[in-house]
Amino acid sequence: MKITGIKSAMIQGVPWTWTLVKVETDEGICGIGEAQLPIGVRDILRNIEKLLVGEDPRHPVRLAQKIYRGLIGAGSTGGSIVLALSGVELALWDLHGKITGLPLWQLLGGKYRDRVRIYADTARPGDHSPAAYADGVRQRVEAGYTVVKVDIDNSAPGEYRKDHHNRALSRAEVEYMSAVSHAAYEALPADVELCLDMHWCYQPTDALRVARRLEDIDILWLEDPTPPENLDALKYVTDHTSVPIACGENHWMSHGLRPMIEDRAADIITPDIPRFGGVQEGKKVAELCELHSLAFAPHNICTPVGTVASAHVCANAPNFLALEHHGLDCPWWDDIALDWGGPVVDRGYIIVPDRPGIGVELNEELLRAHLVPGEVWWD
């Protein structure tokens, strides 16, 4: 069997644009993957196709290395090259599963759990009030989730912000972030966990002012308090608060996360598998975290393709904590997967499928209806 081509389809999702990737073969079997962001991916896929056409597809790990090394001069240590690489790597694993008849979790060495705990991202309410945050998390609990996340950065009314460029917080903003965090926490039943996201906005001493205001509530994590390019700043926050700090969605490949893990600059590591390097890189990071006694909780904003691929890796990781779901505001998200037998994310969990490969059969009719304007199906 030989690889004959690589195709992509850009889907206008809610609120994201989703990029599906297909690896085709001369025997008609194909693998489906997903690259987490569309930026520049189409052009890069054309270059990856040149590297993979004619290759035997049964070697996803080696072929991903061929892409990484083949495009290193174009910047394959990070950025859009890795986005595209991730989408192809997921498709190669899906293809490998279809060739062998085995589900991805089995190709990875088995699983620790049959169902993967999903956490619900919760959009910022239009209303700035702490009560609106409390209502938002209550709705996620009613939908069955046992972990919810809310965004507390840049949510305060505009007059609270003194300067939009210096990464500093005003006293009013710190007070506001504390108020919405406490309101969300107090709205949750005792068996539901709360995560708070700061989207890498702040300098470490001000991020720490917020973290210290959260030390009296038992949150699962505070995410991305500082900009991703400075591990020392992140570690400063982590080392000076009892609040667990999560980070990792803006780092690339296992190489990019290795110093964060080895230096214990965060407590919970959050790579985005269909963005940061793919399935094998996800498994490597989970194992490195396990060696350092750190938790593994992947970021995710994908369709069911990237989400279920991530769920296979999570099922395989002993130190897995929770996997993100950021598609709750897309009314047709679950319908992307045909014949699933119910919602893909059901009451806060994904049952890891036993079908070959990733195990998501695409609803082509639905996806064709949501193509980005001007795009064609599998270009």
Q: Which residues bind Mg ion (CB under 5 A)?
A: 197, 223
The least CB distance from residue 34 to Mg ion, in Å, is: 18
Q: Which is nearer to Mg ion, 76 or 300 (CB)?
A: 300
Cβ pair 257, 230 in contact under 8 A: no
Q: Which is nearer to Mg ion, 116 or 198 (CB)?
A: 198
Residue 82: CB minimum distance to Mg ion, A: 18
Looking at the Cβ atoms of 89 and 197, the one nearer to Mg ion is: 197
Q: How far is the CB of 246 from Mg ion (least distance, A)?
A: 8
> Min. distance of Cβ 247 from Mg ion in angstroms?
9
Long-range (24+ apart) CB contacts under 8 A made by 327-333 are 327/13, 327/14, 327/301, 327/302, 327/303, 328/120, 328/121, 328/140, 328/143, 329/14, 329/15, 329/123, 330/13, 330/14, 330/15, 331/14, 332/366, 332/370, 333/13, 333/14, 333/303, 333/304
Which of 344, 342, 336, 378 shows the shortest CA–CA distance to 361? 336
Helix/strand/coil percent split, the chain, to 5:
40, 20, 40
6 vs 152 by CB, closer to Mg ion: 152
Q: Least distance in Å: CB of 249 to Mg ion?
A: 5
Q: How far is the CB of 271 from Mg ion (least distance, A)?
A: 12
Nearest position to Mg ion, beta carbon? 197
Measure Cα distances from 348 to 146, 161, 195, 302 in Å.
Answer: 7, 35, 15, 16
* Residues written for the chain: 379
Q: CA 38, 6, 350, 280 torsion: positive or negative?
A: negative
Q: Which is nearer to Mg ion, 151 or 334 (CB)?
A: 151
Q: Give 24 or 197: the residue with its C-beta nearer to Mg ion.
A: 197
